[in-house]
A and B are shown apart, each in its own frame.
Chain A
Amino acid sequence: MTDRQQIFDQVTAQIAPFNKKEAALSDATTFAGDLEWDSLTVMDFVAAIEDEFDIIITMNMQAEIETVGQLVDAVAKLRDA
C-alpha cells in the first residue's frame, strides 16, 4: 500500500462518524457539497484529523481544501514538513 493510499484510508476512517448521508468517498468527494457538512461539523472533523496525524491544519489552509483528495494531499505535505 502506498503512503497516499494509507493516508486516504485514515482520512476516510475519520470521515465515517460524520458521514450521516453515507456518501461514497473518493478523491473528488466535496465536504460542503457531497457530505453537506456545516461549519460546526467541519470544526469537529478538522480537530479529529489534526489529532489523528499530529498536525495543525490552520483555518487559512482549510479555506483552500474542498475535496477529500485535497485533504489527503495536504495531510501528506504537513506530515512530512
Chain B
Amino acid sequence: MADLFTKFDPLIAEREALLATGVRDPFAIVMDKVLSPTRAIIKGKETILLGTYNYMGMTFDPDVIQAGKDALDNFGAGTTGSRVLNGTYQGHKEVEEALKEFYGTDHAMVFSTGYQANLGMISTLAGKGDYVVLDADSHASIYDGCFLGDAEIVRFRHNSVEDLDKRLGRLPADALKLVVLEGVYSMLGDVAPLPEMVAAIRKHENCMILVDEAHGMGFFGPNGRGVYEEQGVEKDIDFVVGTFSKSVGTVGGFCVSNHPKFEVLRLVCRPYVFTASLPPSVVATAATSIRKLMHAADKRAHLWKNSKRLHKGLVDLGFTLGTKSPQSAIIAVILTDQAQAVAMWQALLEEGLYVNMARPPATPAGTFLLRCSLCAEHSDEQVDQILAMFEAAGKATGAIA
C-alpha cells in the first residue's frame, strides 16, 4: 500500500540489490575505537583513516582535550538553551574572540553547526526581491539556505567566471545580490578562481560576496584563513563562513565579517536563535584549537607534502583523479560506476584503509568517486602504505591495469 515512504522505494531497491551482492554498506561504517587522528579500529581491524575532515589532526591534541575537560568540569555538559537566551557562556564569547583574531575581522558569530551557519547566513541576508547567485556544485547547506529564504535563486556553471558574469548581467541592476562561493569544492577537491570571480562580480552593482571556507581553513594562506587569503582577495569578501568540524577538530559553525551592522544578525537569524548553543566543552576545545592553528606552519607544510605525494602516487598508479594537480587536501579518485566504486571501497577497507565513497546526487556530473582527505598527522610511512593499498585494491578490482 502506498504511503509517504513509497517515493523512497527505488532507493530502497537499489540499496538492497547492491548489498545482496555481498558488499559491506559504505554508508554504515562504525568506528569501534579511534586511536589517533589517522587510525581507528573498524570491525576489529586497525584501519588508516583517509576519509575524515580532520585535516590538521587537532582531535587528539593534548591542549585541546584538556580545555574540553576543564570546561566540562566548570560549566557542565550543555547549555540547554539558545545563544540569545541562556545559551551564551563565557566560552562562546571566548571562541568568537579567537575567531576574530584568527580572521582579523571585527565580528564573529558562532552557530551550532557549519550547516546551520550557511542555512542562517544565506536565508537571513537575502530576502524577498533579492537574489542569491550560487555555483551549481555548491554544498547542500548552501542550497538549503536558499530554499529556507525568500530570495530568487540563480545558479551558474561550476567555477565558470564567464557564466557568473553573464548571469549577474541579466539581473536587474538595482536588485541586491548575494554571491555565494566556496574556496574548496569538497567533492573533487578543486579550488575556486576567486580573483577572477571577484573581478567579474565587481563589474555589477549591489553585490555582496560570501565565501564558504569549510575545506580551506587551517592550511590555505599565510594565516591559514582559507583560499580567499591565499589568493589575496580578503578585502573583497564580505562574509566568510566556516566550520569547527574540519581543521578545528570538533563541531560548530561560524561566520566572520567586518560589516558594521553584522551584530543585528544575532536577533534575526532563525538557525542561530531557534536552536540550542554548543556545549561548553565544544566551544572550549574549538577556541584552543583555533589559537593553535594560528601557529601551525609545520603541520600545514606536512599536509601539503602529503597531498602532493598521494596525488602523484595515485596518478603514477594509473588512477583518474578529480583534479590534474593537487589543489587541496582532498583527492578524489574517479571510478566508472557504482559497482566498481563499491568493490574498490571494500577492497581498500579490507586492506585496512578507510576512504569516503560518494555518489550522485552529491557528486558533480553523476560520477562515482572515492574521496581521500589527508591529515597533517599522516606520516610519510602511512602515505607509502596508502599507496600500496590502492595499488593492491586497484589491481584486484580491475580499476587499474
Contact = CB atoms under 8 A, between A and B. Distances in A.
Contact of B167 (A39, A50, A60): A50
Contact of A38 (B152, B171, B360): B360
Contact of B365 (A40, A50, A54, A55): A40
Given A38-B360, A47-B156, A55-B170, 6 more contacts: A40-B361, A40-B365, A50-B167, A50-B170, A58-B131, A59-B146
A53 B366 CA distance: 27
B361 A39 contact: yes
Contact of B154 (A51, A54, A59): A59
A64 B157 CA distance: 21
A40 B366 contact: yes
13 contacts: A38-B366, A40-B365, A40-B366, A47-B136, A47-B156, A47-B163, A50-B167, A54-B170, A55-B170, A56-B154, A58-B131, A59-B153, A60-B152
A56 B365 contact: no
B171 A56 contact: yes
B154 A58 contact: yes
Interface of A is mostly: helix
Nearest to A59: B153
A21 to B, nearest CB: 16
Interface string A8-47: 0000000000000000000000000000001110010011
A46 B360 CA distance: 19
A60 to B, nearest CB: 6
Nearest to B166: A51
B155 interface: yes
Contacts, number: 36
Nearest to A61: B152
A50 B146 CA distance: 20
Residue among A39, A54, A58 having the largest count of chain B Cβ atoms under 10 Å: A58
B136 A43 contact: yes
Nearest to A56: B170
Contacts of B146: 59
Chain A interface size band reads 10 to 19
Contacts of B131: 58
A43 B155 contact: yes
Interface residues of B, number: 19
B134 to A, nearest CB: 9
B159 to A, nearest CB: 13
A50 B166 CA distance: 10
Nearest to B147: A59
Contacts of B365: 40
Contacts of A51: 166
Nearest to A54: B170
Contacts of A40: 360-361, 364-366
Contacts of B167: 50, 56
Nearest to B160: A47
A65 B28 CA distance: 37
Nearest to B171: A56
Interface string B142-170: 00001000001111110000010011001
Contacts of B154: 56, 58-59
Contacts of A46: 155
Given A40-B360, A40-B366, A58-B152, A47 B157 contact: yes
Interface in B113-157: 131, 136, 146, 152-157
B360 A58 contact: no
A38 B365 CA distance: 11
Interface string B363-396: 0111000000000000000000000000000000
Contacts of A39: 361
Contacts of B157: 47
Nearest to B131: A58
Given A38-B361, A39-B361, A40-B366, A58 B153 contact: yes
Contacts of B366: 38, 40
A38 B10 CA distance: 14
A9 B97 CA distance: 59
A50 B170 CA distance: 10
A40 B360 CA distance: 9
